[in-house]
Chains A and B, each alone.
Chain A
């Protein structure tokens, strides 16, 4: 019996002297696998033009209807994308997204793929709607906020709620915007996911 007891003690002592295998997230992070389906990325061409042409096929392919695309005509002198149109707004409701990758499959220009980022938790639901700026690949010559609506979702995350008076975080499809197409015609499902808006609820 004593031998077994000593064996057990020796084992734990060996473990004690080994290096812990704990990873100190977020200071240390393990890279995601190359084909990991995390948060989406909107890609650019090598010359900086956005690959997205605002065709809304991703939105149509999405089984949960979490993608909202608002297309706009390109200015021929200063195009955003190589096609006729580009996405002036591109928003993904990450609370609704099931990370199936159908949007990437549907995309004719390979503009959207699912990336390695997985740390998507947040304290406020508004911030979980990723805007075009959040999703778009960075490019040195281009401003990240180019062409995006400052009233878009996640505005407070970028500090715009403090800087622009009257701006409150809200979801794209709840915004009474004359230019945006009515629901159901822009490829967005009729029963779109809605996000509670704290300010409005408080006032009501």
Chain B
């Protein structure tokens, strides 16, 4: 009887295989979130010639645990005129959107275990890229609803900025990804990665990579595009009125989103799990994938502590007048070249 239950499949996969993969990925994302906060503080400290947290545990390695305990025990102060339900749901939505987007990202190539095809993503969709675009766009709802439900002018301003920013950058990002899709000829992330077997798409589509990376910075609300937070103008922006673990959830969403967009960039532009040079393929693909993701994460932190925040109108100018046309040009050129060479 038990065998029958285990035989039940969701799509091509056994349900328990999906469950195990989901638990592993979730554990990885939450751990990555925790240590990303520490990495952010350490790197920023070193850039400013400080040491950074080093008191909790060796080299401050237990600092995230201490932070988590602090956030959990903190009082939840909520504004009086809030919309209760939306105020409560919004922070969770931030985390959910960031985590769910990770479902279709292939961490490594297909491996065969006892004749069973094991895909290294949770849900193997043939339109994985579309799914990711859809889910990451959902993340904006958490910011906007949180800012709206707080009944506070700073939160609302942050939320407004965020939606304006996301709309202007989503277009450029979509066009940047379109170039990759044209080259790979598929929306399936696994096939996109294998299509980079000869040359990573960052070499073929450098402009698209830069566009996507800038869009990713804007999407994760990180400097120099961190206008929704803008702590020195907006007292924190959309999460001004959040405290304790609800605030923690927003940050969890933001940092997991960093991991997600870095993973997408890795899969689409940096060859995913493929090694840098072919003879290095004795190292498992997972490590290649993680190494590339962590490099991108470091670059994101590095950029945050280097550049000042863009002014709001300049951000809009950059999005609509520079990035969007560049993305369009990129798509046109890529499409033309592919059409000419394939025929």
Q: B46 to A16, Cβ gap below 8 A?
A: yes
Please measure, in the bound complex, the distance between the C-alpha atom of A8 and the C-alpha atom of B306, giving whole angstroms. 6
Which of A5, A15, A22, A24 touches B47 (beta carbons < 8 Å)?
A15
Interface residues on A, range: 10 to 19
Asked if A9 contacts B46 (CB within 8 A), the reply is no
**Are B306 and A20 touching (Cβ within 8 A)?**
no
Alpha-carbon distance between A11 and B47 when the two chains are bound, in angstroms: 9
Question: Least Cβ distance of B101 to chain A in Å?
Answer: 28
Chain B 31-61 interface 0/1 with A at a Cβ cutoff of 8 Å (1 = within): 0000000000001011111110000000000
State whether B303 touches A16 (Cβ < 8 A).
no
Q: Fill in one digit per residue for A13-48: 1 if any B CB lies within 8 Å of its CB, else 0.
A: 101101111101000000000000000000000000
Do the beta carbons of B45 and A20 come within 8 Å of each other?
yes
- Cα A9 to Cα B305 in complex, Å, equals 9
Instruction: Select one of B45, B50, B51, B302 contacting A12, CB under 8 A.
Output: B302
Q: Give the shortest distance, in Å, between B38 (CB) and chain A (any CB).
A: 16
For the complex, give the distance between the alpha carbons of A136 and B45 in Å.
Answer: 42
Partner of B307, one of A8, A19, A20: A8
| A16 close to B306 (CB less than 8 A) | no
Chain B nearest Cβ from A145, distance in angstroms: 36
Chain B residues lying within 8 Å of A12, measured Cβ to Cβ, are 47, 302, 305-306
- How far is A163 from B52 in the complex, measured between Cα atoms in Å? 42
Q: How far is the CB of B224 from chain A (nearest CB, A)?
A: 10
Do the beta carbons of A20 and B46 come within 8 Å of each other? yes
Residues of B contacting A9 with CB < 8 Å? Answer: 302-303, 306
Whole-angstrom distance between the Cβ of B51 and the nearest chain A Cβ: 5
Name which residue of chain B comes closest to A23, CB basis. B51
Complex Cα spacing A82 to B47, Å: 59
A5 and B310 CA atoms in complex are apart in Å by 13
**A22 to B43, Cβ gap below 8 A?**
no
B266 to chain A, nearest CB (A): 20
Q: How far is the CB of A25 from chain B (nearest CB, A)?
A: 12
* From B46, B48, B307, contact of A5 by CB (8 A): B307
CA distance A22 to B305 in the complex (A): 18
What is the bound-complex CA distance between A18 and B47, given in angstroms? Answer: 8
- Provide the residues of chain B in CB contact with A5, threshold 8 Å: 307
B51-A24 in contact (CB<8A): yes
CB distance B49 to A18 under 8 Å?
yes
User: Which residue of B46, B51, B303, B307 contacts A15 across the interface (Cβ within 8 Å)?
Assistant: B46
**Cα distance, A16 to B44, chains bound together (Å):** 8
- Known contacts A9-B302, A13-B302; A22/B307 CB under 8 A: no
Q: Would A16 and B51 count as touching, CB distance under 8 A?
A: no
Since A12-B305, A13-B302 are in contact, a sample of 13 more A-B pairs with Cβ atoms closer than 8 Å, ordered by chain A residue number, is A5-B307, A12-B302, A12-B306, A15-B46, A15-B48, A16-B43, A16-B46, A16-B47, A18-B49, A19-B49, A20-B50, A20-B51, A22-B51
Chain A residues within CB distance 8 Å of chain B: 5, 8-9, 11-13, 15-16, 18-22, 24
User: Which 6 A-B residue pairings sit nearest by Cβ, starting from the closest?
Assistant: A12-B306, A22-B51, A20-B51, A12-B47, A8-B306, A16-B46
